[in-house]
Structure 1
């Protein structure tokens, strides 16, 4: 038997929870599906020392302030616990241990959501499964490296003690690459390779940072957005290469003896990684801080996913599939979209679109697909 619902939200991270909150506040029912055992598990699986780049004053979801000093930078477990508390505080309808395997159009209208615990029919579906994607990206040539070299994607990195003795090559010069290289450098000769996307030249957490934060927050929302030429130009760079370094800077890496190489790793020679210059790097470990790719193969709705792997949406609304929405994507509306404190605005917009569509008198898809 298929259960019919007005709205299904796929993913119980910050975007999915914020969307559910906004829908509930406007009097609309929904159900949030998540494969995790606990709300916040996506954060709990990150590396031990991970902290947010934004202070707690900018880390709140709608309706509930982050419970910390305004200038504290929360760790991953604090974020996970906050999301779990948020879900419980507002009695959000979250169903855990439920993995979605397919999303398709229902023959009677609306959508069919297939899971490992039964199927659902819904008039609206909000996909909130991650900012940059969940499939770790590693270049094809990684399989040619000597098997004696330990390879880890940044999603599998937890702490320096995981790594064997010997030099470390960190590939990818975005946030995670800078953080990992900085952390492992005291115990390992470390090279950080990759072009990077610049850095914000203010010491993170400093008095100057506090003074600059209101300006940064304004720019991230009102300048680097999809309505401005500069925002549209930055959109692809941010989506595929991440944002500028914020906490760890090049000077910090130099202070710990990290060799910063602004070259890509382009292949393998004799089982060792090779830089674009032809230099062969002899290392014991490679950490691939090369990001993630979107994997929406489970969405079986024509015209939704573009050739670049990203949804064809505008502010989360899919024009070619009425009733289908996304929330929590990088640059969904602005640079803020990928920050916990910014996702609430996107969730509110998506919830308003759902409420408006419901008000137009949609016929529920109650029959089986």
Structure 2
């Protein structure tokens, strides 16, 4: 089955839906291809206690405010899933699922999107697959020798799964801090970070982070001094569970170990910690394997972009992968502006 349309959006999470909303407003004929069986994107796979960093009003996609979640200042992941499901339905976005895209190819004046459910030919493609589906685990010495269980953030669900176990949580970002705090009362966690953890001030939430990312991008675009953006403020948002564990003395970080062995971790000074499980909260990489046939990756693996548009394949836009595809574009509130800009460029091309 081969279909032709003006644009194909790959990915039906928050970035794909934001792109779809903007394309619909501009009258572009498009489809959204999503590999998941249900709406909600990566939020559907988050751990049970995960909450947003911002209130609902500051966590919305274009066109529709996120409703307040009763009893919660910061909405839970399940509330985000409900919001995205409703958003998709409200705007009648043409999402096809489950459809797994296998490759994007040049096909004359069109791009050909090959998927397990057929082929689409389009004048433009918006890649919005995010990073959740490509977890990163560092090559730590002895990792393969460890005799216990190892999992990444993407596999973590609840502290009940680790009750009474000795867990080493690796990672000094938000996920590492939140999961270490989550385990503090049910398991025996050791929190390990590459450098001493940097907590943002307790009154800073996602609103301030979005403003900082936007100000940095504006400064760079105008040739002014780099403000440092979010990184200048710290690494960890002090959401309430993290704050509670930190203030109770249950969230103390150890420096990174030098190696693993069968029973646990060893440090350079000879100390060790036995462990039943290691949870790698070590981040993600962009999920871009479907773009490999286009041959766009540079020396360091990134695809060069101007805004969201690929420099070497201007029919392709990348949306929602981080600041390199728009300030705070991997967040709910931050993806709206680059989605709007990408849709306008697509509309100029195809209409």
Alignment of 1:193-232 (within 5 A): 193-194=192-193, 195=195, 198-203=198-203, 209=204, 216-223=209-216, 227=221, 229-230=225-226
Corresponding position of 1:367: none
Corresponding position of 2:156: 157
Whole-angstrom CA distance in 2 between matches of 1:257 and 1:348: 43
Corresponding position of 2:275: 283
Which structure 2 segments of 5+ residues have no match? none
Q: Name which of 253, 268, 272 aligns with 1:260.
A: 253
Whole-angstrom CA distance in 2 between matches of 1:93 and 1:66: 21
Pair 276,25 (structure 1): closer, same or farther in 2 beyond 3 Å: farther
Corresponding position of 1:187: 186
Contact kept, 8 Å, 1:154 with 1:288, in 2: the verdict is: yes
Partner SS, residue 102 of structure 2: strand
Whole-angstrom CA distance in 2 between matches of 1:139 and 1:217: 28
Whole-angstrom CA distance in 2 between matches of 1:358 and 1:52: 36
Pair 310,301 (structure 1): closer, same or farther in 2 beyond 3 Å: same
Contact kept, 8 Å, 1:50 with 1:76, in 2: the verdict is: yes
Pair 280,215 (structure 1): closer, same or farther in 2 beyond 3 Å: closer
Corresponding position of 1:100: 101
Deviation, 1:143, is 4.1
Alignment of 1:345-360 (within 5 A): 345-359=337-351
Corresponding position of 2:299: 307
Whole-angstrom CA distance in 2 between matches of 1:335 and 1:197: 24
Partner SS, residue 272 of structure 2: coil
Partner SS, residue 329 of structure 2: helix
Corresponding residue pairs, total? 343
1:327 matches 2:319: yes
TM-score of the superposed pair, with normalisation by structure 1: 0.84
Corresponding position of 1:76: 77
Pair 345,268 (structure 1): closer, same or farther in 2 beyond 3 Å: same
Alignment of 1:69-148 (within 5 A): 72-106=73-107, 108-130=108-130, 132-141=131-140, 143-147=143-147
Aligned-CA RMSD value = 2.7
Partner SS, residue 22 of structure 1: helix
Whole-angstrom CA distance in 2 between matches of 1:92 and 1:158: 30
Contact kept, 8 Å, 2:143 with 2:261, in 1: the verdict is: no
Deviation, 1:122, is 0.9
Deviation, 1:300, is 3.0
Contact kept, 8 Å, 1:36 with 1:98, in 2: the verdict is: yes
Whole-angstrom CA distance in 2 between matches of 1:287 and 1:305: 30
Partner SS, residue 226 of structure 2: helix
Deviations 1:295-347 (A, max 9, x none): 42331344422333332212211010020001111104554322201111110
Partner SS, residue 342 of structure 1: coil
Partner SS, residue 322 of structure 1: coil
Deviations 1:9-28 (A, max 9, x none): 00001110010110110111
Partner SS, residue 170 of structure 1: strand
The more displaced of 175-184 and 36-45 is 36-45
Whole-angstrom CA distance in 2 between matches of 1:334 and 1:249: 28
Whole-angstrom CA distance in 2 between matches of 1:230 and 1:319: 23
Whole-angstrom CA distance in 1 between matches of 2:333 and 2:64: 11
